A and B are shown apart, each in its own frame.
Chain A
Amino acid sequence: MLRTQRKVADVTPATMKKSKEETKKQSQFREVMKRLMQNKLAVLGMVIIIVYVLVAIFAPYIIKYDIAELNLGEKNQPPSKEHWCGTDDFGRDIFSRLLYGTRYSLGLGLGAVALGLLVGIILGCLAGFFGGWVEEIIMRFCDLMQAIPGTLLAIVISMVLGSGFVNTIIALGIGRIPMNSRLIRAQFLNQRQLEYVEAARATNCPKTKLMFVHILPNTISPLIVLSTMGVGGTIMMAAGLSFINLGVQPPLPEWGAMITAARQYIRYYPYQLLFPGLFMGILVLALNLFGDGLRDAMDPKLKD
């Protein structure tokens, strides 16, 4: 009798296991998403970001005009039915160039943030986990970098490396490293003294696994928020670099570079500056709204 009962008890969880595993496994992610969806501004931000990403991916198929072909007969035209945002001083359709430029601007922002994250996390993990002289070296290195104003650092690095898409990513990404590794280190110091870390050590957990599998996931959420907001700032900075003829160079339709090119005509054809600025402003705004919402959604104290 007892035996059969056992068996019944065995079967039920086994059959339920699969579906339960999937639902439970995502519970934390889902909870964050649920709270994010309640925030209307964050959802708006997210929608705008998705649109931009889609535009960046499918830009070559959307645009009507070639982005590089000169058409001097139609130069400096105001916005019209054919050219929604007008044309620039070489007669190129500004709207097409803007759409195509999404690739560069978004790519720069995401690339630089990703670089900063990758290196920052590794350095922060090492510093926070090992302490001692490892921490000392890494943190003093961060101090050194943070002593230089961010823009200046980016300018110097991109001058040394030269202009170009990848070089600009590096120039902007390096500036983000110290901030990220500081944050991760602080989180590590917090987590390191919790007993689950000691328990993992007592059960022979190898150091790399302890660092990256146990502790890191518990430290990462503030960094996600910081980086989401950071994408916007980085895009602005990239535009700034282009504006002073560093970073991505014309004729590539990067927004900052487009603004630079149009600068001399600001009195006569202000729309040539207006639209790139508007495109960039909306994206940065969306990123900030989304980042704000993400921060609120991930903050466990706001849990209802």
Chain B
Amino acid sequence: MSALLETKGIKKYFSTPKGMLHAVDDVSMTFERGTTVGVVGESGCGKSTLGRTIIHLLESTAGQIIFEGKDVTHPTGKELFKLRQDMQIIFQDPYSSLNPRFTVEETLKEVLLRSKRATRKTVDKEIERLMDMVGLARRWRMAYPHEMDGGRRQRVCIGRTLAMNPKFIVCDEPVSALDVSIQAQVLNLLEDLQKEHDLTYMFVTHDLSVVRHISDNISVMYLGQVMETCPCEELFERPLHPYTQALLSAIPSTDIHKKKERMLIKGELTSPIEPEPGCRFAKRCPYVCDECDKPQQLKEVIDGHFVLCHKADKFVSC
């Protein structure tokens, strides 16, 4: 089965007064149909920018985006219109991602009519169907966003996304603004919808437990680059990149008898503006050596497990 979506060496630079900011640098990813790819990384590592670039809210600086076998890196107006039906996004903040002056009905109606998924006659039924689908009681139909809580708003956002009938959805930290109890509801909803509609997710988050729960594959990003990509459980059992190891050791354990060795990383995020060619994590890496100053290549260390570190082979054996 061919992948639904592929990115090849995608780059997104922003020009700033201090120089080029490498927000996303040479990222290649594959999204298989009906699966979820989790993208984790700390704030400012370019994971949201990557998502927005893939669905063409931002124009990529270089690289290729291939959707259903077609190169869609630079779509024309018509192509873009069609493409947006297939690729959608759910935002982090359900407060600012809904127009405060639109009721639930208006929000959904607008999208339904524009995407020609409903006519004026059928739109009422469609709205009800969508609201049922995302588990929103019908009494909220005429409600304004400020009358609803975060979870319900996020359901409206999901409903708006589904109104376009997409195949691929970028979930940009969709639960990080919500309470833990509501997080679970929304995550379950997303999973159910995935099964029902054969959706493909790119799940951007910084919450490792969430990403473990929902992902099939995980990519770890650091300063605009993918450091490690592998199947979900593999990452948690055998993290190979030093950054991933540090990240995972930060997960608190519930077992008080098992002493966990925490791997602390020193220093701060280096600047993404005009970075040096070598490994971007080198300045904070405990295993740093001269080799790290050379440009690194993402290599397959074990089957399906890619790491951007020349020492990865050694970590496998130990």
State which residues 84-128 of B face A: CB under 8 Å.
Answer: 84-85, 88-89, 91-93, 96-101, 103, 110-111, 114-115
State which residues 21-53 of A face B: CB under 8 Å.
Answer: 21, 24-25, 27-28
**A13 near B141 (CB under 8 angstroms)?**
yes
Q: Which of A9, A13, A195, A196 has the most CB of B within 10 A?
A: A196
**B100 near A218 (CB under 8 angstroms)?**
yes
Contacts A201-B57, A203-B114, A217-B101; is A196 near B96 (CB within 8 Å)? yes
Residue A15 CB within 8 A of the other chain: no
Cβ contact of A203, chosen from B92, B96, B98, B164, cutoff 8 A: B164
Residue A205 CB within 8 A of the other chain: yes
Residue B251 CB within 8 A of the other chain: no
Cβ contact of B142, chosen from A25, A194, A198, A205, cutoff 8 A: A25
Least Cβ distance of A95 to chain B in Å?
46
**B97 near A195 (CB under 8 angstroms)?**
yes
State which residues 245-264 of B face A: CB under 8 Å.
Answer: none
Size of B's binding interface in residues, CB under 8 A: 32
**B84 near A195 (CB under 8 angstroms)?**
no
Residue A147 CB within 8 A of the other chain: no
Closest B residue to A21 by beta carbon equals B142
**Could you mark each residue 67-85 of chain B with 1 if its beta carbon is under 8 Å from any beta carbon of chain A, else 0?**
0000000000000010011
**B99 near A204 (CB under 8 angstroms)?**
no
Least Cβ distance of B74 to chain A in Å?
17
Contacts A13-B139, A13-B141; is A204 near B98 (CB within 8 Å)? no
Q: Which of B81, B85, B138 has the most CB of A within 10 A?
A: B138
State A195–B88 Cα separation when bound (angstroms).
13
**A205 near B114 (CB under 8 angstroms)?**
yes
Cβ contact of B84, chosen from A28, A202, A218, cutoff 8 A: A202
State A196–B99 Cα separation when bound (angstroms).
6
Residue B144 CB within 8 A of the other chain: yes
State which residues 186-208 of A face B: CB under 8 Å.
Answer: 194-196, 198-205
Least Cβ distance of B231 to chain A in Å?
29
State which residues 1-32 of A face B: CB under 8 Å.
Answer: 9, 13, 17, 20-21, 24-25, 27-28
Q: Which of A24, A201, A202 has the most CB of B within 10 A?
A: A202
Closest B residue to A205 by beta carbon equals B114
Closest A-B pairs by Cβ, 4 of them? A195-B97, A24-B142, A195-B91, A194-B96
Binding site for A on B (CB under 8 A): 52, 55, 57, 81, 84-85, 88-89, 91-93, 96-101, 103, 110-111, 114-115, 138-139, 141-144, 157, 160, 163-164
Binding site for B on A (CB under 8 A): 9, 13, 17, 20-21, 24-25, 27-28, 194-196, 198-205, 214, 217-218
Could you list some 12 contacts between A and B, CB below 8 A? A17-B142, A28-B144, A194-B96, A198-B52, A198-B57, A198-B91, A199-B89, A199-B98, A202-B55, A202-B88, A203-B160, A218-B101
